[in-house]
């Protein structure tokens, strides 16, 4: 993937130009998360957390780690909600909650919260119409005397 190769080049450059910058550690962690390289992710996160406590991006990364590394969407959503409590204006955490939703109804509720923060967010534009249509179909299927599932 060309975007990961460009990202790798940027990470290498930052490691030389700003090796001790907490933002470099966070970016290195993001890169390794995207590649599923968990030992490298952990090393970068440990370095970042040592020098930059209380960062919304580190809070987000630890929450998304629960989903992607440990396959625990429940823990990921719980950690992401805590991230939102600590950093109420951090849009990326709310977008993470949209992605961790366990069904269309929950996802739409999370999208509504995301829309309040940023109505032009790509997830709002991409998922809201599809989830709303899914919810309408589910209502039609469950309606007595109507809907495709009740045809004679």
Helix (H, G, I), strand (E, B) or coil at 88: coil
Q: How much is the pTM?
A: 0.79
pLDDT digit of tens for each residue in the chain (152 aa)? 677 677 777 777 877 787 778 888 999 999 999 999 999 999 999 999 998 778 999 999 999 999 999 999 999 999 999 999 999 999 999 999 999 998 888 999 999 999 999 999 999 999 999 988 888 888 888 855 443 343 43
- Sort 37 into a burial class: Cβ within 10 Å, 0-12 / 13-18 / 19+: middle
């Amino acid at each position: 993937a060309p975007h990961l190769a460009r990202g790798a080049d940027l990470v290498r450059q930052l490691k030389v130009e700003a090796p001790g910058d907490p933002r470099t550690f966070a970016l290195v962690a993001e890169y390794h998360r995207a590649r599923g390289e968990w030992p490298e992710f952990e090393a970068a996160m440990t370095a970042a957390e040592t020098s930059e406590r209380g960062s919304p991006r580190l809070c987000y990364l630890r929450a998304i780690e629960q989903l992607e590394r440990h396959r625990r969407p429940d823990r990921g959503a719980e950690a992401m909600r805590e991230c939102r409590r600590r950093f109420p204006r951090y849009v990326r955490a709310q977008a993470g909650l949209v992605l961790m939703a366990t069904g269309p109804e929950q996802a739409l509720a999370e999208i509504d919260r995301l829309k309040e923060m940023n109505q032009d967010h790509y997830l709002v534009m991409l998922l809201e119409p599809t989830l709303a249509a899914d919810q309408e179909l589910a209502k039609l299927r469950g309606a007595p005397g109507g809907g495709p599932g009740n045809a004679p």
